[in-house]
Chains A and B, each alone.
Chain A
Amino acid sequence: MSAEFELTRNITIGQYLPTGSVIHRLDPRYKVTAFVIMILAIAVCNTYLGNLFALAVCLVMFRLSHIPLHYGISGVKPAVPFIIILAIMQLLFYGEIARGGTIYFQYGFVTISSEVIRLVVVSAMRFVEVIFLSSVLTLSTSTTELTHGMERLLGPLEKVKFPVHAFALIITIAIRFVPTFAMEMEKMMKAQASRGADFGTGEWWRIVKRTKDMFPIIIPLFNVALSRAEDLILAMEARCYTPGAARTRYAHYRATPKDFAAVGICMILAIVMLIIPW
């Protein structure tokens, strides 16, 4: 109950946990590359054993980065209903698509075979693995590093006139302001609660009432967001930010053998994941 308004605690996106581990100190460009390789491997891997292996790899990464596992688990929690709904859908409607295997049960359009079960279990595991991996990445990399890394990796796209820098900037600002607005929202909820407001206590079918209950928070939040945006523009212009102009960078990244090793290890892990039978 005392955590009624502690919104900021529940938001792990954009949160950075500086433990100074090996994974924290990797060059962000290579870290993002390694991360992309792992995600792709997880997306393709569809064996039980391969996914168990991937899950184990995730746990090892938590260990290596000195990040408490409950951070990853708290990221999974909100996704649980979604995973369950997905599992039910797949169980009911995927009989036609995932053909083969032993058929355990068949009635009308519902076909439950070993292949369908494999699909259900594997997608649930994939979900958890992807959340774990992205938690490790975001918790071990500050948002600045992350966007620098992405900007560099997207660099080649500049040749086809893709506004890489602007894109990276938008992402940085968006991520940077998530915790800020969470804080603003928390403050607003507290202020309105002090005036007798209550949120989300109405019955769920009274959607209009529940939406109206949110007005006292949403409207001020928009106001704050707009005025913050104006402040940000002024602050950027005061520091001579010119859209589209070439900019030098404060942080220079130089890859070390460790970074190459990290990408190499991830590649090997990815291949192992894909060639594991069963």
Chain B
Amino acid sequence: MKQPILVTEHLSHVYMQGTPMEHRALDDVSIQIDRGECIAIIGHTGSGKSTLIQHFNGLMRPQSGSVIINGMNVSDPKLDVKALRRQVGLVFQNPEDQIFEKLVGDDVAYGPFKMGLPIEEVRRRVEWAMELVGLSFEEMKDRPTFALSGGQKRKVALAGVLSLQPKILVLDEPTAGLDPRSRNELLERIKRLNTEERLTVIFVSHNMEEVAHLADRVYVMANGRAVCEGTPRSIFSNQELLHTHHIGTPESVDILYRLRAEGYQVDPGAYSVDEAADQIAHLIGR
């Protein structure tokens, strides 16, 4: 049943090797991600998350260790990187910066167009990708890109990657800098890509509510190492771990921990807003 789609083994990376500014960004990282999973990668700034995900579509090649993605070995110098990048869609932080075409539709079409697809196929993919992120194709395709709101721009950028029809979608802090409404909507879209379009989703996040809400499994990175792995439930109920690696918790987990510290019988592992509310309601005897 479980089919690994992305495996890294003993992956290490050193920046500026051989200079006084040498910096070990990844240190013996071994992770395994299965087809159809939704994975969160969390960790402090500078813990190596961004470096790690750049290995997933061949922007970086392993210095030591290996990365195998859907049977493709990223270390292989003869690897067809373009084919790899069609399988793994990588969405960078603030992806709206990368929009360069005058019209929304043209920008989304850039990737498929570069693949050399026939025009009808490009059009079909652009429509598919735009509808998927919640932009009406008919209404939006001829809008100028500079007149969009921040949330819309981000959706356009996301559609620009989705139009490659990747099997794995990798997102670096997808909701950073968005207002709460755009954030929630984008999260819903990402969730649906995972559940309905069967995309394997890997996302980096500092927002623990997001992690708790979306992820099937979580990898915790610290100092370039993958220090821990597990379901959000198991991660958030391990207070010691959270503390040593300076990882925040969702607010509900916070509340439950505080109640427990005060001597109440609560389970911080049951932290979804409903569960937490039930526990608290139980405590105050309703």
Contacts and interface: CB of A to CB of B under 8 A. Distances in A.
B82 A190 contact: no
A99 B189 CA distance: 77
B100 A193 contact: no
B77 A1 contact: yes
B97 A190 contact: no
- Count chain B CB atoms within 10 A of each CB in A5, A187, A188, A194 and give the residue with the most: A194
Contacts of B16: 9
Interface string B99-113: 110000000001100
Interface in B35-85: 54, 57, 59-63, 77, 82, 85
A187 B54 CA distance: 11
Given A2-B63, A198-B82, A219 B164 contact: no
B137 interface: no
Contact of B98 (A19, A68, A188): A188
Given A196-B111, A196-B115, A216-B110, A2 B98 contact: no
Interface residues of B, number: 30
A159 B82 CA distance: 60
B98 A192 contact: yes
B85 A193 contact: yes
Contacts of A198: 82, 114
A254 interface: no
B97 A223 contact: yes
B115 A190 contact: no
A174 to B, nearest CB: 22
Contacts of B77: 1
Contacts of A190: 54, 59, 92
Contact of B60 (A2, A19, A68, A197): A2
Interface in A148-202: 187-188, 190-198
Contacts of A235: none
Interface residues of A, number: 25
A187 B98 CA distance: 9
Contacts of A193: 59, 85
Contacts of A9: 16, 19
Given A194-B90, A194-B161, A197-B114, A220 B99 contact: yes
Given A188-B97, A196-B86, A17 B20 contact: yes
A195 B92 contact: no
Contacts of A188: 97-98
A197 B82 CA distance: 9
B98 A191 contact: yes
B51 to A, nearest CB: 11
Interface of A is mostly: helix
Contacts of B97: 187-188, 191, 220, 223-224
A2 B82 CA distance: 15
A194 B59 contact: yes
A68 B16 CA distance: 14
B89 interface: yes
A216 B114 CA distance: 12
A193 B111 CA distance: 9
A187 B92 CA distance: 8
A205 interface: no
- Count chain A CB atoms within 10 A of each CB in B20, B98, B115, B161 and give the residue with the most: B98
- Count chain A CB atoms within 10 A of each CB in B60, B100, B114, B160 and give the residue with the most: B100
Contacts of A197: 110, 114
A250 interface: no
27 contacts: A5-B59, A5-B60, A9-B16, A68-B20, A187-B92, A187-B97, A188-B98, A190-B54, A190-B92, A191-B90, A191-B92, A191-B95, A191-B97, A191-B98, A194-B59, A194-B85, A195-B85, A195-B98, A195-B110, A195-B111, A195-B114, A195-B160, A195-B164, A197-B110, A197-B114, A198-B82, A215-B100
Interface of A: 1-2, 4-5, 9, 17, 19, 68, 187-188, 190-198, 215-216, 219-220, 223-224
Interface of B: 16, 19-20, 54, 57, 59-63, 77, 82, 85-86, 89-92, 95, 97-100, 110-111, 114-115, 160-161, 164
Given A193-B85, A196-B114, 9 more contacts: A1-B77, A190-B59, A191-B90, A193-B59, A194-B90, A195-B85, A195-B110, A196-B110, A223-B97
